[in-house]
A = this chain, B = another copy of it.
Amino acid sequence: MLKTLNIKSSSRTELINITNDIIKIVKDCRVGSGICLLHVPHTTAAITINESADPDVVIDITVKMNEIVSRNSNYRHMEGNSDAHIKSSLFGPSLSLIIEDAKLLLGTWQNIYFCEFDGPRNRNLFIKIIS
């Protein structure tokens, strides 16, 4: 089963919590045991897992990543978004998650984030369920 989730980002750099969307998709597909593969079909975005209890955590992540991979550098690519391409490779475009007892298996503090590194844009996420 393949699903597509549409995501609308509102800033250049932004981590968007999509946990409830993915939990619902997994629940609706009624697969008891398997793998849920998330794939971001973009090269200036990514997917990750982190904490949501304190919203400052994802702000710290975006601020520090902007420091580590500076937006302005001696980049050759002329579109001004080489930093976004690099962050995309560092965080990764895909994530495989466990489905057990017909539910997504996440840790207590784990939430799934779509990582926008060159927004605002309309983005997609593919969700593939394998049982």
Partner-B contacts on A (CB < 8 A) = 2, 33-35, 37, 39-43, 48-51, 54, 56-57, 59-61, 63-65, 67-69, 73-79, 82-83, 85-86, 88-98, 100, 105-110, 124, 126, 128, 130
A107 touches B51 (CB 8 A): no
| Residue in B closest to A92 when the chains form the complex, CB atoms | B92
Main secondary structure on chain A at its contact with chain B?
mixed
Oligomer: number of copies: 3
Nearest-Cβ distance from residue A120 to partner chain B, whole angstroms: 18
A77 touches B50 (CB 8 A): no
A-B contact pairs, 20 of them (CB 8 A): A2-B33, A2-B100, A2-B105, A42-B110, A43-B49, A43-B107, A48-B92, A49-B88, A56-B76, A56-B77, A57-B82, A59-B76, A60-B86, A64-B75, A65-B86, A67-B73, A92-B95, A93-B95, A105-B128, A130-B130
B61 touches A89 (CB 8 A): yes
> A48 contacts which chain B residues (CB < 8 A)?
89, 92
> A65 contacts which chain B residues (CB < 8 A)?
86
